[in-house]
């Protein structure tokens, strides 16, 4: 039997992917539906069919029998026929001998258990009780399955009863046929039975092990199976992002796409993430679920940021992070990781009235700062308000300029009412920044008897009042959006009310506008200081 397996397939740029997978190693194949994962599984099986065991994604999880009801000859013939069928081109999407595969798995499980008992009995008969005791300490496959089920949070126990019939008990209750197990329980049982009865030094290929199983079950089950069979090599095709993270010593092949010539795969687009890649588990999870270009943004998947940025930057994975610090950490971590040079990362964070020095520092790291205070400002930019007003007017018959003016006037009035709050908020932010900018360093503390930080709060307040009053007087909605968090005033509500919309419908209308109006989308991209051009260049 081989100690390693050569894996190869053509890449889209004419190169050949080549990798040696040793016995004891694990390779996850991760990708979306239709990217060619099952085709890769079929290719790898066909290359090593004499020493491989394949568990198909299309596997049947119900049993025609729960007993040893086939002869050894029939079992061997079935295995030969199944192996032959699995080498066909259609094996990636169609499974022949579906019912018989489950029966073979049960046969092998029962046979392995019986063979162990026979070996123990033979040692006793030969007058070697010590050898028999030593052999008896080896757990049989059914005993191992019960241990795996318990540790994988599946409350069933399998046993072999009269006439070589496999039964199950739930929480120590009455026995019932394994054919009556739930879909998930049968799936876990079949995967475990196939893996535990594989020949030593086999290549075990499992396509979509998560079918019918929650991650809380399949993750520990697979990890335990890997531990039980260190004498096999494993290839796991999955949609479950966290399975590779849960097995830190594994390699991960990220499959992006596959091009077919008829029904035959021509080449793949794929990248390999090594087990020792210098990124933490959270970043690894972000990479596993992403395209080759990633933009990290502030917020959550439910916030306004992600859906808007997905429209502005298509063909790029938008990954929300909870804070600016998290965005900076993610971008820096990926850009400094030499093992994953094929991942290109950027970040976008809110402006929050940052200093010019801080903006330049972040941009040097690949983190772009919005030109406006926060992401809401992009939705309520005057150009977006004007275009939505035009669309509304086309439906209602109103004059779009009147709609636009009403929305802007309402916003200015709301800012005027909240003027003191917005000024106080800005002054507090600027005062804090000046204090932090002048915090003493080690040399100051060591060499200066007194450290003084003086901030002219009155001057800051006076400048802020002048600025906001100028913007209000000039009806400069964009200037206000750049400088202040208008969500803390009634301005945004007045804008949508002026257009005759509720806020969720207005935000949805902006996203629809960006999907349908190329000019609006192009304008929105100009607000990102060249980031779109850098990503697409």
Tokens of 452: 């003084």
The percent of residues above 90 in pLDDT, for the chain, comes to 43
Tokens of 483: 């400088």
Q: Which residues contact 397 (CB under 8 A, 6 or more apart)?
A: none
CA distances 534 to 75, 110, 324, 332, 346, Å, are 60, 61, 21, 17, 10
Q: Are residues 269 and 353 in the same domain?
A: no
Residue 469 lies in a domain: yes
Contact criterion met (CB below 8 Å) for 197 and 204: no
Q: Assess if residue 408 is contained within a domain.
A: yes
Based on the fold, state whether residues 154 and 262 are members of the same structural domain. yes
Tell me how far apart the alpha carbons of residues 124 and 135 are, in angstroms, rounded to a whole number.
10
pLDDT tens digits for range 435-448: 887 788 887 788 87
Last residue of a domain, one of 254, 273, 292: 273
Q: Please give the Cα distance from 154 to 148 (Å, whole number).
A: 8
pLDDT tens, position by position, 341-390: 778 899 999 998 888 899 999 999 999 999 999 988 999 999 999 999 99
**153 token code pair:** 């949070």
Query: 35-44, 226-235, 312-321, 481-490: which has the minimum mean pLDDT?
Result: 312-321
More confident site: 247 or 62? 247
Residue 210 belongs to a domain: yes
The strand pairing partners of 13, in sequence order, are none
Question: How do 4-10 and 16-22 pair as beta strands?
Answer: antiparallel
**Residue 291: partners with Cβ closer than 8 Å, 6 or more residues away:** 256, 315, 316, 317
Strands 344-349 vs 293-298: parallel, antiparallel or unpaired: parallel
CA distance 347 to 326: 10
What average pLDDT is seen over the chain? 86
Q: What is the dihedral of CA 26, 31, 35, 39, to 10 degrees?
A: 20
Based on the domain organization, do 435 and 325 belong to the same domain? Answer: no
Q: Which of the listed residues 216, 242, 273 is the one where a domain comes to its end?
A: 273
Q: Does some domain include residue 463?
A: yes
Last residue of a domain, one of 369, 398, 421: 369
- 2 is written with which tokens? 């081989």
Residue 214 and residue 325 in one domain: no
Q: Is the Cα dihedral 390, 394, 396, 401 positive or negative?
A: positive
SS (H, E, C) 407-446: HHHHHHHHHHHCHHHHHHHHHHHHHHHHHHHCCCCHHHHH
Looking at residue 265, its pLDDT comes to: 92
Q: Does residue 314 share a domain with residue 288?
A: yes
Within a domain: residue 355?
A: yes
Asked if residue 238 and residue 385 are part of one domain, the reply reads no
Instruction: Look up the domain containing 338 and give its range.
Output: 281-369
Q: Looking at residue 495, what is its pLDDT?
A: 97
Burial group, residue 227, by CB count within 10 angstroms (0-12, 13-18, 19+): exposed
For residues 289 and 186, give the distance between their C-alpha atoms in angstroms, rounded to a whole number. 28
How confident is the model at residue 176, as a pLDDT? 87
Q: What is the count of structural domains for the chain?
A: 3
Structure tokens belonging to residue 454: 């003086």
- Give the DSSP H/E element, type plus range, for residue 457: helix 457-473
Task: Give me the mean pLDDT over the 130-144 stretch.
Answer: 83
- Tokens standing for residue 77: 């013939």
Say if residue 317 is in the same domain as residue 455.
no
In terms of average pLDDT, the best of 50-54, 111-115, 468-472 is 468-472
Q: Is residue 364 part of a domain?
A: yes
Residue 97 has a pLDDT of: 64
The rounded radius of gyration (Å) of the Cα atoms in the chain is 32
Query: In which element (H, E) is residue 156 found?
Result: strand 156-161
Task: State the Cα–Cα distance between residues 473 and 482, nearest whole angstrom.
Answer: 16
445 and 298 share a domain?
Answer: no
37 in a domain, yes or no? yes
Q: Which tokens belong to 301?
A: 């998947």
pLDDT tens-place string over residues 44-76: 999 998 999 998 765 655 555 555 566 778 777
Q: What is the CATH number of the domain that holds 217?
A: 3.40.50.300
Q: What is the mean pLDDT of residues 509-532?
A: 94
Domain assignment present for residue 65? The answer is: no
Q: In terms of domains, do 219 and 355 share one?
A: no
3-state DSSP assignment of residue 318 = strand
Residues 50 and 198 in one domain: yes
Percent of the chain topping pLDDT 70: 91
Helix (H, G, I), strand (E, B) or coil at 391: helix
Backbone angles phi, psi at 217, to 5 degrees: -100, -50
* Residues 357 and 438 reside in one and the same domain: no
Q: How far apart are CA 111 and CA 103, in angstroms?
A: 12
Backbone angles phi, psi at 388, to 5 degrees: -70, -35
Is residue 175 domain-shared with residue 100, that is, in the same domain? yes
Burial of 491 (0-12, 13-18, 19+ CB in 10 A): buried
Please write the tens of the pLDDT for every residue from 492-506: 999 999 999 999 999
Over residues 291-305, the pLDDT tens digits come to 788 899 988 777 777
Which among 273, 396, 390 has a CA at the least distance from the CA of 341? 273
CA angle 254, 84, 45 (to 5 degrees): 20
DSSP letter at 140 equals P
The whole-angstrom separation of Cα 88 and Cα 96 is: 10
């Amino acid at each position: 039997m081989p100690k390693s397996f050569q894996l190869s397939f053509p890449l889209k740029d004419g190169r050949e992917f080549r990798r040696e997978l040793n016995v004891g190693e694990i390779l996850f194949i991760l990708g979306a539906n239709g990217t060619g994962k099952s085709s890769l599984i079929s290719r790898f099986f066909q290359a090593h069919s004499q020493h491989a065991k394949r568990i198909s994604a299309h596997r049947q999880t119900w049993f025609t029998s729960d007993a040893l009801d086939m002869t050894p000859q029939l079992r061997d013939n079935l295995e030969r026929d199944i192996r032959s069928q699995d080498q066909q081109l259609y094996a990636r999407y169609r499974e022949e001998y579906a019912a018989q595969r489950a029966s073979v798995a049960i046969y092998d499980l029962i046979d392995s258990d019986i063979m162990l008992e026979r070996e123990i009995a033979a040692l006793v008969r030969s007058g070697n009780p010590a050898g028999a005791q030593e052999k008896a300490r080896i757990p049989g496959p059914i005993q191992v399955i019960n241990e795996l089920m318990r540790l994988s949070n599946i409350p069933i126990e399998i046993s072999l009863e009269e006439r070589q019939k496999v039964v199950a008990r739930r929480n120590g209750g009455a026995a019932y046929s394994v054919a009556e197990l739930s879909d998930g329980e049968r799936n876990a049982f079949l995967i475990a039975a196939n893996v535990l009865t594989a020949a030593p030094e086999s290549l075990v290929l499992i396509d979509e092990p998560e079918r019918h199983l929650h991650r809380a079950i399949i993750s520990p089950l697979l990890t335990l199976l890997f531990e039980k069979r260190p004498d096999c090599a494993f290839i796991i095709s999955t949609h479950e992002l966290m399975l590779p993270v849960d097995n830190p010593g594994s390699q991960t092949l990220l499959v992006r796409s596959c091009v077919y010539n008829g029904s035959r795969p021509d080449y793949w687009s794929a990248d390999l993430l090594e087990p020792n890649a210098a990124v933490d588990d959270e970043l690894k999870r972000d990479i596993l679920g992403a395209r080759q270009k990633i933009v990290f943004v502030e917020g959550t998947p439910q916030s306004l940021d992600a859906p808007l940025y997905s429209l502005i930057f298509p063909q790029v994975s938008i990954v929300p992070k909870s804070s600016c610090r998290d965005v900076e950490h993610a971008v820096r971590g990926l850009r400094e990781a030499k093992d994953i040079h094929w991942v290109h990362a950027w970040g976008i964070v809110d402006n929050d009235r940052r200093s010019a020095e801080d903006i330049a520092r972040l941009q040097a790291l690949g983190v772009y700062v919005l030109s406006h205070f926060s992401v809401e400002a992009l939705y309520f930019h005057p150009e977006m308000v004007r275009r939505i007003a035009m669309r509304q007017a086309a439906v209602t018959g109103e004059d779009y300029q009147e709609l636009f003016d009403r929305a802007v006037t309402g916003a200015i009035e709301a800012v005027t009412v909240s003027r003191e709050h917005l000024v106080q908020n800005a002054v507090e932010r600027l005062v804090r920044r000046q204090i932090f900018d002048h915090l003493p360093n080690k040399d100051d503390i060591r060499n200066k008897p007194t450290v003084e930080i003086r901030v002219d709060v009155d001057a800051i307040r006076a400048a802020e009042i002048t600025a906001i009053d100028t913007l209000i007087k000039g009806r400069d909605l964009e200037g206000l959006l750049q400088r202040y968090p208008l969500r803390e005033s009634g301005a945004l509500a007045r804008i949508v009310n002026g257009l005759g919309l509720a806020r969720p419908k207005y935000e949805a209308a902006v996203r629809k506008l960006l999907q349908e109006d190329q000019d609006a989308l192009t304008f929105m991209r100009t607000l990102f200081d060249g980031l779109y051009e850098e990503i697409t260049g």
